[in-house]
Structure 1
Amino acid sequence: MTTPASDGHVSLIDQNDFNDWVDRFNLAFTDSSTVTEPAAPDAHPWAESFFGCFMPVDTCLVTCCMPCITFGKTHHRVHKDRNMKSYYCVNASCLMFTGFSCLGLHFIPTFFQRVDIRRRYNLHGDCLSDLFTSCCCVCCSIIQQDKEAEVREKELATRVDAKGYAEPQGMAYMLQR
């Protein structure tokens, strides 16, 4: 999402995204249970296979060439808008991932996002499996996260839309006879 800066320029970096990542890293360093907590006993299996990363082909190709784009897209879908409104492929999450990748530490943001998705949608897994998949094959992990977020967010939207939204009724007084 682009945000207007104080001088009127449009910025590709959303300060809220940047602050969100800083807060997540700080929380993990001060309270390791935020990333080491295992899945709940009632956790669901992942809807998408780890090795299902070759389909769809366009996502596979984009992620293999520029994993930061898929990484940022997933973050946007999960944390900003499930319908991808105001999404721009170069965003704070994408640039942060690129910075970590330049240092050979691409697995760190991938791991944090994987933990976040696993916890958000109550999925099977634990800290070690999240770390292993983030280190073993970053592209497969990012694609699985992206596909999982898309499926789960559609499910959430369907549940909300099925119930519908009813405007709260005003207060009514019963007449006594």
Structure 2
Amino acid sequence: MSHSRVNNQPAGQHGMVVAPGGGGNRNAQNMPVDADGRDWSNGLCGCCSSCGTCICATVLPCVVYGKNKHRYQHLDQQGTPEPSPGCCSGSCVAHGIFAACGLGFIFQMVNRGHVRHRYNIKGSGCGDCCTSFWCSPCQLVQESREIELEEQSFGTGRY
């Protein structure tokens, strides 16, 4: 790549998180961004606005966790939405096994941290832990909806 092409690249803007995989609009609802980042695009208690995901996250949280993780990783690594996220994956199975022992929230806490970082969302590991432990279904839906906003920003109409 020539030096002149590098100089002609668009500059990042305040609050923008740039990852190796590129991606779509990571702040699709234009949430205000300050030095600590921004808030989630959807509130934690807004899980009922995505009824199907909410029911699935309540009954089978491992499925929603697995889909969230797979969708996030595809966006992060490929820079595009996952064309057909599967229902069951290795992540889903691992979460299910640990959830049977009461430890599924640990997987969710780690993934929530990755999602927060990708979207420059305010928070901390302690907050991720508490939210994943006490509000598991709502946390999974909130995370899913944040990922969905970036997927929709590609304009594919699939999501």
Query: Is the radius of gyration larger for structure 1 or structure 2?
Result: 1
For 1:50, the aligned partner's letter is: L
Correspondent of 1:150 among 129, 141, 148: 148
Change (3 A) 1:99 1:86: same
Counterpart for residue 44 of structure 1:
38
RMSD after superposition: 1.9
Query: What is the total number of aligned residue pairs between the two structures?
Result: 119
Per-residue deviation, 1:42: 4.6
1:64 and 2:58 correspond = yes
Counterpart for residue 172 of structure 1:
none
1:45-87, Cα deviation, whole Å (9 max, x unpaired): 1101101111221111111111111111111211125533242
**Structure 2 stretches lacking a partner, 5+ long:** 1-33
Equivalent residues in 2 for 1:127-146, closer than 5 Å: 127-146=125-144
Task: Kindly indicate whether the alpha-carbon contact (under 8 Å) linking 2:132 and 2:139 is maintained by their aligned counterparts in 1.
Answer: yes
TM-score by length of 2: 0.68
1:15-54, Cα deviation, whole Å (9 max, x unpaired): xxxxxxxxxxxxxxxxxxxxxxxxx825121101101111
Task: Kindly indicate whether the alpha-carbon contact (under 8 Å) linking 2:50 and 2:141 is maintained by their aligned counterparts in 1.
Answer: no
For 2:114, the aligned partner's letter is: D
For 2:118, the aligned partner's letter is: R
Correspondent of 2:96 among 92, 95, 98: 98
For 1:72, the aligned partner's letter is: G
Task: Kindly indicate whether the alpha-carbon contact (under 8 Å) linking 1:97 and 1:106 is maintained by their aligned counterparts in 2.
Answer: yes
Equivalent residues in 2 for 1:80-91, closer than 5 Å: 80=74, 82-91=80-89
Higher relative CO (Cα under 8 Å, sequence separation at least 6) belongs to 2
Question: Whole-Å Cα distance in 2 between the matches of residues 106 and 67 of structure 1?
Answer: 9
Counterpart for residue 109 of structure 1:
107
For 2:60, the aligned partner's letter is: M
Per-residue deviation, 1:107: 1.1
Task: Kindly indicate whether the alpha-carbon contact (under 8 Å) linking 1:121 and 1:152 is maintained by their aligned counterparts in 2.
Answer: no
For 1:66, the aligned partner's letter is: L
